[in-house]
A and B are shown apart, each in its own frame.
Chain A
Amino acid sequence: MHLVIIGNGITGVTAAITARRLSPEARITLLGAESAHHYSRPALMYLYLGHLRYPDVKPYEDWFWPENRLELVHAEATSVDTAARSVQLATGQLLAYDCLLLATGSVVRTAGWPGQQLHGVQGFYGLPDLESMSRATHGIRHAVVVGGGLIGVELAEMLHSRGIRVTWLVREQRYWQSVLPPEESALLAAHILRNGIDFRLATELSEVLGDAQGRVRAVVTSTGQELPAEWVGLAIGVQPNLALARAAGLETDRGILVNEVLATSAPGVYAAGDCAQHRQPAPGEAAVEQLWYTGRMQGETVAHTLCGQPTPYRRGHWFNSAKFFQLEYQTYGRVPAQPEADIASFCWQHPSGKLLRINFRQSDNVVTGMNVLGLRQRQDTWERWLREKAPVGTVLAQLAAANFDAEFSRQHEPAIRREFSRQFPAIILASPRRKGLFGAQ
């Protein structure tokens, strides 16, 4: 069998590695247009910050690929013939496949702003973006970031590290309000301001202004203000990269439409990761998932199907993590941004800027999800609590078991329990278990 994978991001690479494990004899070809080797996309910011060099963000050393007989082709795929089962490369080569996996990722989304084509206005998704950003921001003094998601905060931190004054425009009334409850939004907004970012909520970009050389010089906001900007970062999100799939005649909507086993409308062709859209997502799950973690899980799942073990994609309990300047964020299970019927929400905050939220059903006290900021929580423990439908009283009593903070860190569990009893006096907590000097369990 010849398996061809288009895209050497986390999805394509996980699929390749899993397929090699499941099918030791298969021929596996991994196409990458952007880079010769797989690199960690979330690590791009650390290259700009000077924390790491390019070889450091490659998850595998270069010998890994030939030793595991994964053939790398550094070339763009220009078209797919699903009837003849072949991929045309920009180099002129024609690659025949038995199975094809499209893991083409995303492209930067823009909103059609006037002036967005000016030099110094760009999105941030891949190595070429990092490179042009490095060049364009060298020695500048003012930059504007547009969009309040996770790429936005990365750009703000990157620019700020080089002493560039950053104005950050966020359309929403509060930070990341589509994902976070109000307390988390407020805490993060304060943290961002404390880090010296000119952070403006409820402000949109209206227009980008250029100079005579076609370079950006300023932006105009929805409040009518003109702000100096020698560079503008567009971070309002990404959308599935569909060019190849559409040209090949695959059924697409927002993404490449796939069924439960991640098969597209063409036989032998599959899609996974950012570019895929599930025809029937599980209740409460998104049809298009654009995360490192979901990319990895979809890549692993589709590899089973490609190797003759049809496996439906089951994401399991939601989890995610991020870092906002110094503040780490983790979430397990479902924590809606808006209050929901029958869901009680317990929120504890520490004056030093830490937060823990636990949601549970009012009817039976079963925990449904949690957020933390500035604390680390053990995923395995939370996964077990969510799976076993643990009551909130038990979870709080055993909270130390989920503590993943470094040794000697301040332990807040007693304070958290006191606060819980204050907010929910009717719920009785079991007596706690302690984390001793000699171990976690």
Chain B
Amino acid sequence: MSAFSVIQPPAATMPAGEKLPLAAVALGLLALLVAAADADVASARLSLYLALALLSGGALGWAWLAFGRTAAGWHPHDLWRRSSTSRGAVAWATGVALTGFYVVLYWFPGLLENLIRALDPFSQWLRHRPADQWLLYGTFYTLAVLVLGGRALWKYRFSRYHLARTVSVMFFQLGFAFLLPGLLLALQQPEYYFSYFWPLKYDYLFPGTVGQLLHGGGLGVFMVFWGVAMSFLATPVLTYFFGKRWYCAWVCGCGGLAETAGDAYRHLSDKSRQAWHWEVRLIYPILGLITLLTALLWLGASGAVPALGVVTGPLGQFYGFAIGSVFSGIIGVGFYPLLGSRVWCRFGCPMAAYLGLLQKHFSRFRISTNGGQCISCGNCSNACEMGIDVKQYAQRGEPIIRAACVGCGLCATACPRGVLNLENGPREGRLTGSAFIHADSLRIL
């Protein structure tokens, strides 16, 4: 009865002023299609540059209008009343377009040939070689992180924590995941991403890759050292001091895209207990699978067990297709407008699983609850991109220590009563709740 019309409020109208930058974005998408269809390299290049300029300018202009005219602060007005951010028609259209792009990129790159050729001069300048579909993807990806990172910087200009982590993901995406690998290629070195580690970039510790890198000598040896040191030394140490966030919300490219391009979709993550069950069912088996595959490959390479390739070959192909392509790309990014920005990070990423286990059991990080001040309003849970029902902890006066938490800090920002704070404290008493609420022993999750 009474709650019914509250559940279905009137749809929000788009302020007239915001229609202009949105028109620029639409024109940019159109120009992109024109470029993709244009076989003439020179005019396709012109269309592509025009498209990127319109898309970037439009997106930044829109952010300026949407977040600039009101006082700085957290006020996601009409978030659940707009078609684009409440799984409406606009969201579905965006999701289909993004998913379609990934399908074309992975399996029909020929359709992108004109766009790829249009990037040849840029690729020659950066990498000393012609462009390919991955350069096109990397360019789009990096531009998305930078332009929508600009949007995030403007939106969160009131919080130095959000400014710092946004600048950080923009820096690592541009420098470590785009320019540096290109530069390495130009210098005839292996294309290596210093910001991705096993088990996310799983093949970096496969015997084949390691062998190739070591064979190259010099820089290759350093790359192998870097990969091993980051996966098995730096990751536990940094996670001990700062929690999983040092990677997921400050360095990682997937996290970088989620925190910038995906910021408008963070609330769409499913907070139900059911979703948490699926999270545990998926992410730890995936970590187990890639660990097993890596171990088997080394076992095979050692020659101790002959003909292991019969198992590792298909297993590797399956993992690369199902997890590397379909899960991380199509579902992970393509479904942003429907399932939220961290579907891959939450349900699929083996690095997140590894970091999460460390965070939960061997870390100083926690989100503290401030005494008995929670009003159970639900803003924290809504803001959580990882689908953690934060208020279940806050209203019981307990600190939030969850493997999934990437430490984006938006729960603390969204809280209207100053109840939540991300802290690296001593491990003693890390799990202790507030004395102001006598937490019940009833199962909540």
Enumerate chain A interface residues (CB-CB to B < 8 A): 10, 17-18, 20-21, 34-35, 40, 42-43, 46-61, 63-64, 67-68, 127-128, 130-131, 134-135, 138, 161, 194-195, 292-293, 296-297, 300, 319, 321-323, 325-326, 328, 330, 376-380, 383, 404-410, 438-441
Does A408 lie within 8 Å of B164, measured CB to CB? yes
Does B372 lie within 8 Å of A296, measured CB to CB? yes
Does A47 lie within 8 Å of B418, measured CB to CB? no
| A242, B413: Cα distance in complex, Å | 39
Instruction: Count chain B CB atoms within 10 A of each CB in A34, A377, A380 and give the residue with the most.
Output: A380
Chain B, range 411-445, C-beta contacts under 8 Å to A: 412-413, 416-418, 421-426, 434-438, 440-444
* Cβ contact of A319, chosen from B2, B76, B371, cutoff 8 A: B371
Does B442 lie within 8 Å of A52, measured CB to CB? no
Does A328 lie within 8 Å of B418, measured CB to CB? yes
Neighbouring B residues of A49 by C-beta, 8 Å: 75, 77-78
The answer to whether A438 and B241 touch (CB under 8 A), given A138-B10, A408-B164, is yes
| A128, B1: Cα distance in complex, Å | 9
| A68, B377: Cα distance in complex, Å | 22
Does A406 lie within 8 Å of B412, measured CB to CB? yes
* Cβ contact of B377, chosen from A40, A60, A300, A441, cutoff 8 A: A40
Nearest residue (CB) in B for A157 is B75
Does A325 lie within 8 Å of B364, measured CB to CB? no
- Is B127 located at the chain interface by the 8 A CB criterion? no
- Is B111 located at the chain interface by the 8 A CB criterion? no
- Is B79 located at the chain interface by the 8 A CB criterion? yes
| A67, B421: Cα distance in complex, Å | 31
| A246, B143: Cα distance in complex, Å | 67
Does A326 lie within 8 Å of B440, measured CB to CB? no
Does B72 lie within 8 Å of A46, measured CB to CB? no
Does B442 lie within 8 Å of A46, measured CB to CB? no
| A226, B114: Cα distance in complex, Å | 67
Does B413 lie within 8 Å of A406, measured CB to CB? yes
Nearest residue (CB) in B for A163 is B15
| A262, B131: Cα distance in complex, Å | 77
Chain B, range 321-371, C-beta contacts under 8 Å to A: 364, 368, 370-371
Neighbouring B residues of A438 by C-beta, 8 Å: 241, 364, 424
Neighbouring A residues of B78 by C-beta, 8 Å: 49-50, 161
Does B273 lie within 8 Å of A440, measured CB to CB? no
Nearest residue (CB) in B for A68 is B442
28 A-B contacts, Cβ less than 8 Å apart? A35-B3, A42-B376, A49-B78, A50-B9, A50-B80, A51-B77, A51-B382, A52-B379, A54-B3, A56-B378, A59-B395, A67-B443, A131-B5, A138-B10, A161-B78, A292-B375, A296-B437, A325-B71, A377-B418, A383-B371, A383-B436, A406-B161, A406-B409, A406-B413, A409-B161, A438-B241, A438-B364, A441-B425
Nearest residue (CB) in B for A13 is B376
Instruction: Count chain A CB atoms within 10 A of each CB in B376, B435, B440 and give the residue with the most.
Output: B376
Does B378 lie within 8 Å of A376, measured CB to CB? no
- Annotate B1-13 by CB proximity to A: 1 below 8 A, 0 otherwise: 0110111011010
Does B371 lie within 8 Å of A380, measured CB to CB? yes
Return A323 CB to nearest CB of chain B, in Å: 4
Does A409 lie within 8 Å of B160, measured CB to CB? yes
Does A131 lie within 8 Å of B372, measured CB to CB? no
Does A52 lie within 8 Å of B373, measured CB to CB? no
Nearest residue (CB) in B for A381 is B371
Does A439 lie within 8 Å of B421, measured CB to CB? no
Does B417 lie within 8 Å of A323, measured CB to CB? yes
The answer to whether A379 and B379 touch (CB under 8 A), given A59-B391, A323-B416, is no
Return A431 CB to nearest CB of chain B, in Å: 22
Neighbouring A residues of B273 by C-beta, 8 Å: 61, 63
Enumerate chain B interface residues (CB-CB to A < 8 A): 2-3, 5-7, 9-10, 12, 71-73, 75-82, 158-161, 163-164, 241, 272-273, 364, 368, 370-373, 375-379, 381-382, 391, 395, 409, 412-413, 416-418, 421-426, 434-438, 440-444
Does B71 lie within 8 Å of A326, measured CB to CB? yes
A-B contact count (CB 8 A): 188
* Cβ contact of B378, chosen from A52, A130, A195, A322, cutoff 8 A: A52
Does B375 lie within 8 Å of A50, measured CB to CB? no
Neighbouring A residues of B3 by C-beta, 8 Å: 35, 54, 127, 131
* Cβ contact of A379, chosen from B5, B12, B436, B443, cutoff 8 A: B436
Return A69 CB to nearest CB of chain B, in Å: 10
The answer to whether A326 and B9 touch (CB under 8 A), given A34-B2, A68-B443, is no
Return B386 CB to nearest CB of chain A, in Å: 16
Nearest residue (CB) in B for A42 is B375
Taking A50-B79, A54-B3, A63-B273 as given, write out 6 further A-B residue pairs in contact, using a Cβ cutoff of 8 Å, ordered by the A residue number.
A35-B2, A52-B80, A56-B378, A130-B6, A131-B2, A293-B373
Neighbouring B residues of A407 by C-beta, 8 Å: 161, 409, 422-423
* Cβ contact of A21, chosen from B10, B409, B422, B441, cutoff 8 A: B441
The 3 nearest A-B residue pairs measured at CB: A379-B371, A43-B377, A326-B73
| A280, B7: Cα distance in complex, Å | 43
Does B426 lie within 8 Å of A134, measured CB to CB? no
Does A51 lie within 8 Å of B76, measured CB to CB? yes
Return A304 CB to nearest CB of chain B, in Å: 10
Does A404 lie within 8 Å of B2, measured CB to CB? no
Does A319 lie within 8 Å of B373, measured CB to CB? yes
The answer to whether A439 and B376 touch (CB under 8 A), given A18-B440, A194-B71, is no
| A50, B273: Cα distance in complex, Å | 24
The answer to whether A376 and B442 touch (CB under 8 A), given A134-B6, A292-B375, A404-B370, is no
Neighbouring A residues of B73 by C-beta, 8 Å: 325-326
Neighbouring A residues of B442 by C-beta, 8 Å: 17, 20-21, 64, 68
